Structure 1
Amino acid sequence: MNRAPGSVWRRPTHFFAFGLGSGAVPWAPGTFGTLAAIPFFWLMADLSLSWYWGVVFVAFVMGVWLCDKTSNDLGVHDHSGIVWDEFVGYWITMAAVPFSWEAALWGFAIFRVFDVFKPWPIRWADRRVAGGFGIMIDDVMAGLYAWSTMHLWFWLH
């Protein structure tokens, strides 16, 4: 069971690292964090691809710092409530995918599969890369796997 600290609601770094509070749910915080990323994808979907990737890159860099700071403050590496990495991983999954609720939900499902099961080398990175970068990189990799899967599916259909 996820036990979110009260600082999530008092400290902006923790609030963002906890996915605007979505990671504070008592169970399945990664799933809720990914769901919370969907409306932001909806808002970003009409950006040009270069602007979209720019926003994702800034969110990644910001996430490395947010996740590192929050993790250090809490004294727990990759607390289950830290879900900013799910936001970024989901946005990677959805890059260059035209918005529709069907695509948004398929992207959600595919990203969660790769994020939960962590095929190689995602699991390796998850276990061996430390700090905020370590918290972020496995979800970036899961997002790239899911992005490839989404685009392969679009290409085949």
Structure 2
Amino acid sequence: MSTLARLIATAGYCGNVPVAPGTVGSAVGLVLLVLVRSAGSPGLEALTLAVLVPVGVWAATAVERESRRTDPPAVVIDEVAGMMVTLLWLPVGWVGGLAGFLAFRLFDIVKPYPAAAAERLPGGWGVMADDLVAGAYAALTMRVLAWMAPAAMLS
């Protein structure tokens, strides 16, 4: 397996932690989003995600093939992408960021329909798709929360 594929799939080897690699990958996604936002270009968020998804599919597929395991726990590029979907173009402060993180983790773990079905797609598509769906559910939740309590989300 290529070192590059493993580096990407594990989000810089962050997925190799022994406990809660998905949570660590989600935190990496939040940090990446903060860094991208600091550039000050809203379009850069979407561009980053648009590059991250196909590259993540490629890397996850390569790691699955090499390890002969479906969705290995160390592969966390899907959590990185799902977390970015959660807060895409949504202005939040640290409270909103934490709420988004928790919402994404909840939907990623529970996997409401169609996330569980998306997980059954072949190769890296299945690895990435369920987290993108979880991110979409979390994004909807965050927009409702932002509508209900906009000041709290910006805190």
Q: Which residue of 1 aligns with 2:123?
A: 131
Q: Aligned partner of 2:65: which letter? A: N
Do 1:45 and 1:99's aligned partners in 2 also have CA atoms closer than 8 Å?
no
CA separation of 1:70/1:79 partners in 2, compared to 1, >3 Å: closer, same or farther?
same
**Partner residue of 1:145?**
137
Q: Deviations over 1:108-154 (max 9, x none)?
A: 1000000000011111221x211111110000000000011101111
Q: Secondary structure at the match of 1:26?
A: coil
Aligned residues with identical type, % of pairs: 32
Instruction: Give the RMSD, CA atoms, in angstroms.
Output: 1.6
User: Equivalent residues in 2 for 1:71-150 (5 A)?
Assistant: 71-126=64-119, 128-150=120-142
Q: Whole-Å Cα distance in 1 between the matches of residues 129 and 56 of structure 2?
A: 10
TM-score, length basis structure 2: 0.89
Report the equivalent of 1:25.
Answer: 17
**Paired AA for residue 13 in structure 1:** A
Q: Deviations over 1:45-83 (max 9, x none)?
A: 244333211110110011010111111111111101100
Q: How many residues align?
A: 148
Instruction: State the Cα deviation string for residues 77-121 of structure 1 (Å, max 9, x = none).
Output: 110110000000000001112242222111110000000000111
Match of 2:41 in 1: 48
Q: Which SS does the other structure have where 1:81 is aligned?
A: coil
Q: Equivalent of 1:64, from 45, 57, 65?
A: 57
Long gaps (5+) in structure 2: 150-155
Contact residue 30 and residue 83 of structure 1 kept, 8 A: yes
